[in-house]
């Protein structure tokens, strides 16, 4: 990356860096996804998370049962009503995850040099001598000298609660290992990870299929976060399954890239998926540490060029038990924004950390600072150059809207959309101002009943950098007559004013259809 990635005043006055940032009424353009769990599931905390800037809530089915997650979701709905802040729901699958259950939650002390057996016999309890694994194919997948990582679910990098094991020998389906570092394992679930070893388990487990068909349908989930996506077929299979689940045909699939195999098939996976999650927790174990940054930069650039959402995980591990991130973590968040990410995902920090709200606030502030120096002009040029000509008409309109908005220094871009397609194309060019997406419901039928689309599409904007959705009154549905357009625009601008992003005398760029043609309008408010 060149220095042109940054937009700094010339000559750079270091003192200006210390000037307080002017408070922005809206949260950062970069989206924040929080995982809800024990430390973040009561209505009050969720309200605080929403106000702090969380716009997507992740429900991780690797732990907890349906009822537990349902209770959390009911609380989220209350919090959304109370705060009047939209939040999308993301179901995160279990996938082919290797784990050790510690049902009794014994504290397990592992001493360096000791021997421990990973057994396929799941009926045995976990102890310092035996760790029961949910997979009986490990012994045939490893050889002497291989290393296995084991840690508390959503481990953090700095803990002594994760352990490296070295394979000594296999005995039937059991694997005998030497403990490489002294560690204390606490909690009810540990995940095991072996670098670059194929786990012969399906990407969607039986439990995942069931959860999507029950919990997922009931709650109209906006996103599936497809854990351990290794091949484009994984995404296709998930798509086919969702398409058969009624309204979930509208659910978007975000493929989680968390191992070498997913990385090797990245381009094909990106083609099939609606978005990508760079699951750096697991990926950081699968890849040599010195390669992680490069994967991030290349993968984000590919997502950006495809105009698909990207999310980076595991950013401020230390905030699990500290109110401030480390310098390295804070810098890393800013760099992810400069690299072009759409969103930042928090795991352990909001799920079981002591400072869930502070974490979201910290992330939002770092993102907002980074966005101020994001060199949009350079990004715009690079993005437009990468598009083959002749350009699709809608993309030409969308990029023109962004260009016009920069040139006239518009305070917002307003885009009318039903599918969200035009809004995403605008976001692709990373405008520096918020994009107010007016989602117009569309009446559709599945030959059994009529219903309106729009709710999914509006909430799905909440994972895309810069997009701020509002759902229009269904009575205006897909009628682009100019009188209807004018009245919806007025509602949108009133909404923008109430949110503090639109003021008197502002210039606004509007992207909408007038008759049959898509147009870009510039309006100046009185
Ligand atoms: N109900 C509407 N009224 C006015 N313009 C609209 C409406 N819906 C979409 N547009 C405009 O139509 C064009 C196509 O946008 P797109 O998002 O692809 O629409 P759709 O949701 O119909 O797929 C864009 O210029 C968009 O701003
Ligand atoms: C988010 C991650 O995965 P998990 O679903 O295991 O938390 C990760 O590995 O970064
Ligand atoms: K998971
Ligand atoms: Mg993971």
pLDDT band at 501 (very low <50, low <70, confident <90, very high): confident
Q: What is the pLDDT of residues 190-214, one digit of tens each?
A: 999 988 888 999 999 999 999 999 9
440 lines ligand 1 (CB under 6 A): yes
For residue 31, give the nearest of 90, 102, 83, 74 by alpha carbon: 90
Q: Which of 491, 510, 488, 507 is nearest to 499 (CA)?
A: 491
Q: Is the CB of 352 under 6 A from ligand 2?
A: no
Q: 31-48 pLDDT, tens per residue?
A: 999 999 999 999 999 999
pLDDT above 80 (res 484): no
Average confidence (pLDDT) over 297-313: 98
Judged by DSSP in three states, 424 sits in: helix
By the 10 Å C-beta count (0-12 exposed, 13-18 middle, 19+ buried), 17 is classed as exposed
Residue 1, pLDDT above cutoff 60:
no
Residue 67 has pLDDT above 80, yes or no: yes
CA of 411 to the centre of ligand 3 (A): 39
Q: How far is the CA of 95 from the centre of ligand 4 (A)?
A: 10
Please, which residues have CB within 8 angstroms of residue 460's CB and are 6 or more apart in sequence?
88, 222, 223, 252, 274, 420
Of all protein residues, the one whose alpha carbon is nearest to atom 9 of ligand 2 is 281
Domain edges within the chain? 30-96+202-374, 102-194, 377-524
Confidence band, pLDDT 50/70/90 cuts, at residue 158:
low
Does 345 have pLDDT greater than 80?
yes
Report the C-alpha gap between 116 and 166 in whole angstroms. 10
Residue 386 banded pLDDT, cuts 50, 70, 90: very high
What is the CA 65 to chain-centroid distance, rounded? 22
**CA atoms of 500 and 479, how far apart (whole Å):** 28
Gap from CA of 90 to ligand 4 centroid (Å): 15
Give per-residue pLDDT as tens, 21-30: 665 556 799 9
Q: Is it true that the peptide bond before 390 is cis, omega within 30 degrees of 0?
A: yes
Phi, psi angles (nearest 5°) of residue 266:
-55, -50
Mutate to test the pocket of ligand 1, among 413, 417, 485 (most ligand atoms within 8 A of CB): 417
Helix, strand, or coil (residue 251): coil
Rounded-to-integer distance, Cα 232 and Cα 258, Å:
14
More confident residue, 364 or 4: 364
pLDDT at position 78 over 90: yes
418 Cα nearest atom in ligand 1: 21
478 lines ligand 1 (CB under 6 A): yes
Share of the chain above pLDDT 70, in %: 94
Q: Is the dihedral of CA 155, 157, 163, 165 positive or negative?
A: positive
The rounded Å distance from CA 386 to ligand 2 centre is: 31
pLDDT of residue 3: 47
Name the strand (E) or helix (H) holding 61. none
518 ligand 1 Cβ < 6 A:
yes
**Is residue 227 in contact with ligand 2, taking CB distance under 6 Å?**
yes
Strand, coil or helix: 296:
helix
Q: Say yes or no to pLDDT of 161 above 90.
A: no
Task: Please give the helix or strand (H or E) that residue 203 lies within, else none.
Answer: none
Residue 485 near ligand 2, beta carbon < 6 Å: no
DSSP assignment, residue 398?
H
Distance, in Å, from the CA atom of 182 to the CA atom of 83, rounded to the nearest integer, reads 46
Residue nearest to atom 2 of ligand 2 (CA): 279
159: pLDDT confidence band, cut at 50, 70 and 90?
low
What are the residues whose beta carbons fall under 8 Å from the beta carbon of 402, sequence distance 6 or more?
380, 413, 426, 429, 430, 431
Counting every residue written for the chain, the total comes to: 526
- pLDDT recorded at residue 317: 94
CA distance 123 to 440: 54
Q: What is the DSSP string of 485-525?
A: HHHHHHHHHHHHHHTTS--TT-EEEEEEEETTEEEEEEEE-
Ligand 1 lined by 398 (C-beta under 6 Å)? no
Q: Tell me, in angstroms, the distance from the centre of ligand 2 to residue 227's CA.
A: 8
Task: Read off the pLDDT band of 2 (50, 70, 90).
Answer: very low
CA-closest residue to ligand 2 atom 1: 279
Q: Which atom of ligand 2 sits closest to the CA of residue 258? A: 9
The best mutation among 405, 425, 512 to test binding of ligand 1, ranked by most ligand atoms within 8 Å of the C-beta, falls on 512
> Closest ligand to 93 CA?
3
The conformation of residue 353, written as its DSSP 8-state character, comes to: -
**Class assignment of domain 377-524?**
alpha beta
Say how far apart CA 212 and CA 214 lie, in whole Å: 6
| Average pLDDT rounded to a whole number, residues 316-326 | 96
Query: With a 6 A CB cut-off, is 102 part of the ligand 2 pocket?
Result: no
How confident is the prediction for the chain on average, in pLDDT? 93
Ligand 3 midpoint to CA 94 (Å): 4
Task: Please state which CATH number belongs to domain 30-96+202-374.
Answer: 3.20.20.60
| Distant-in-sequence, close-in-space partners of 144: CB < 8 Å, separation ≥ 6 | 167, 168, 169
Per-residue model confidence (pLDDT) at position 160: 80
> Could you report the per-residue pLDDT of 119-154, keeping only the tens digit for each?
999 999 999 999 999 999 999 999 999 999 999 888
- What does the radius of gyration of the chain's CA atoms come to, in whole angstroms? 24
Single out the residue of 489, 460, 459, 461 nearest to residue 473, CA to CA.
Answer: 489
> What integer pLDDT is reported at residue 447 of this predicted model?
83
Correct CATH for 102-194 of 2.40.33.10, 3.40.640.10, 2.40.10.120, 3.40.720.10 = 2.40.33.10
């Amino acid at each position: 990356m060149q220095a042109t990635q940054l937009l700094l005043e010339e000559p750079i006055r270091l003192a200006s860096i210390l000037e307080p940032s002017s408070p922005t009424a809206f949260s950062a353009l970069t989206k924040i996804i929080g995982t809800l769990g024990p430390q973040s599931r009561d209505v009050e905390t969720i309200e605080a998370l929403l106000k702090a800037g969380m716009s997507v809530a992740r429900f991780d089915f690797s732990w907890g049962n349906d009822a537990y997650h349902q209770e959390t979701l009911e609380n989220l709905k209350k919090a959304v009503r109370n705060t009047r802040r939209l939040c999308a729901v993301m179901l995160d699958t279990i996938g082919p995850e290797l784990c050790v259950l510690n049902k009794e939650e014994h504290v397990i002390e592992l001493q360096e040099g000791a021997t421990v057996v990973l057994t396929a016999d799941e009926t045995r309890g976990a102890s310092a001598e035996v760790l029961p694994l949910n997979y009986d194919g490990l012994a045939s997948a490893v050889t002497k000298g291989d290393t296995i990582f084991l840690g508390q679910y959503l481990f953090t990098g700095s803990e002594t609660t994760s352990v490296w094991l070295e394979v000594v020998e296999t005995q039937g389906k059991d694997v005998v290992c030497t403990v490489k570092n002294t560690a204390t394992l606490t909690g009810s679930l540990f995940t095991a990870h072996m670098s670059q070893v194929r786990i012969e388990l399906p990407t969607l487990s039986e439990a995942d299929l069931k959860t999507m068909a029950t919990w997922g349908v009931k709650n109209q989930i906006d996103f599936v976060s497809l854990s351990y996506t290794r091949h484009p077929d994984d995404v296709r299979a998930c798509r086919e399954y969702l398409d058969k689940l009624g309204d979930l045909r509208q659910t978007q699939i975000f493929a989680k890239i968390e191992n070498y195999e997913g990385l090797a098939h990245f381009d094909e996976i990106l083609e099939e998926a609606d978005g990508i999650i760079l699951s750096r927790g697991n990926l950081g174990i699968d890849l040599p540490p010195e390669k992680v940054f490069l994967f991030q930069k290349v993968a984000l650039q590919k997502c950006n060029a495809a105009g698909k959402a990207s999310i980076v995980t595991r950013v401020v591990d230390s905030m699990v038990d500290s109110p401030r991130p480390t310098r390295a973590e804070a810098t890393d968040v800013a760099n992810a924004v400069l690299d072009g990410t759409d969103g930042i995902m928090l795991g352990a920090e909001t799920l079981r950390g002591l400072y869930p709200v502070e974490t979201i606030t910290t992330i939002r502030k770092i993102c907002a600072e980074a966005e101020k120096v994001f060199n949009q002009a350079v990004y715009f040029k690079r993005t437009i150059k990468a598009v083959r000509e002749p350009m699709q008409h809608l993309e030409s309109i969308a990029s023109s809207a962004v260009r016009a908005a920069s040139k006239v220094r518009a305070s917002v871009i307003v885009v009318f959309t039903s599918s969200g397609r035009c809004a995403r194309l605008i976001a692709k060019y990373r405008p520096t101002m918020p994009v107010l997406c007016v989602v117009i419901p569309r009446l559709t039928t599945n030959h059994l009943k009529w219903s309106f689309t729009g709710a999914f599409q509006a909430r799905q904007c909440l994972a895309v950098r810069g997009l701020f959705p509002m759902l229009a009154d269904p009575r205006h549905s897909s009628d682009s007559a100019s009188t209807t357009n004018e009245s919806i625009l007025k509602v949108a601008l009133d909404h923008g004013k109430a949110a503090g992003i639109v003021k008197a005398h502002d210039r606004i760029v509007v992207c909408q259809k007038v008759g049959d043609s898509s147009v870009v309008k510039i309006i100046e408010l009185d």
